[in-house]
Structure 1
Amino acid sequence: MIELDHVIVSARDRVASARLLASLFDVPWDETALGIFSAVYVNPGLTLDFITTDEDFPVEHFCFRVSDAEFDAILDRLEAAGIGWRGDVRGRNDGQVGTAHGGRNIYWDEPDNHRWEILTKSYARRPG
């Protein structure tokens, strides 16, 4: 089986970006995991390695499938942090939760404009 091991995420401030995501997901992180990276340990098999850069970089989209309990907890942490969200990939932060695909999903943008999403049911994977 092929598994994704890690992804490098460009940021203006790797420490701040990694700390924020780790706090929202309530997962461990390491400010200097591999010297130039701040690592967020999303689960036992996936690490997000944040790297500081002054170069232009594209806005990326990252989506994580979570349980209903994890969804509720992350939503509570977003609220507590004052971070707006929306139920649609585009548009303004309206505090709405998306339900179009039989589960729940929300999007939010982090300070470097990367677009983060959590969902409870994958709409990217369909049987057949």
Structure 2
Amino acid sequence: MTVTFNHTIIAAKDREESACFFRDIFEAAEAPSWGVFTNVQLDEGVLLQFAEPPVDEIQMQHYAFLVDDDLFDRAYARIQDRGIDHAADHQWKRPGETNTEHGGRGVYFMAPAGCGLEMITRPYL
């Protein structure tokens, strides 16, 4: 059997707002939700499950998403239209820019869940 990524739980301050943000930016599908999870379906059956943890502080996590050039253009336009802070690098030394490292384009931005997101058009390896 091969190994395939299936799902992850993302701690969110507001699970509904966070799921809506991901569906909007990445044009992701809504998925059936249950219990403490609000779910978003990505391609290849990957499920993002947003949950509100029973703690006040959420430690920042990083999630990178590989998208095609057309989706990058549309998603980046939404990031700009909504005034979402973004940068070309993970240290935020090039705010308001995208990068062209690794033979594609990339951008870093924050989600309402408190996690850092990266959108790239080419995988690193």
TM-score normalized with structure 1 length: 0.87
What's 1:88 paired with?
Answer: 89
Per-residue deviation, residues 7-44 of structure 1 (Å, max 9, x unmatched): 000011111111111111111224x6022101011224
Contiguous gaps of at least 5 residues in structure 2: none
Aligned to 1:33: 33
**3-state secondary structure, aligned to 1:96:** coil
Fraction of identical pairs, as percent: 28
Say how many residue pairs are matched. 123
The 2-side partners of 1:17 and 1:99 are apart by: 28
Tell me the residue number matched to 1:51: 51
The one-letter amino acid of 1:35's match is G
Counterpart contact for 1:108–1:117, Cα < 8 Å = yes
**Secondary structure class of the residue paired with 1:73:** helix
Q: Distance in 2 between matches of 1:100 and 1:24?
A: 22
Q: Which residue does 1:19 correspond to in 2? A: 20
| Structure 2 Cα separation of the partners of residues 6 and 22 of structure 1 | 16
The Cα of 1:53 is off from its aligned counterpart by 1.9
Aligned residues: CA RMSD = 1.6
SS of the residue 2:118 aligns to: strand
TM-score by length of 2: 0.89
Unaligned runs of 5+ in 1: none
- Structure with the largest fraction of helix: 2
Which aligned segments of 4 or more residues in structure 1 are displaced greater than 3 angstroms? Answer: none
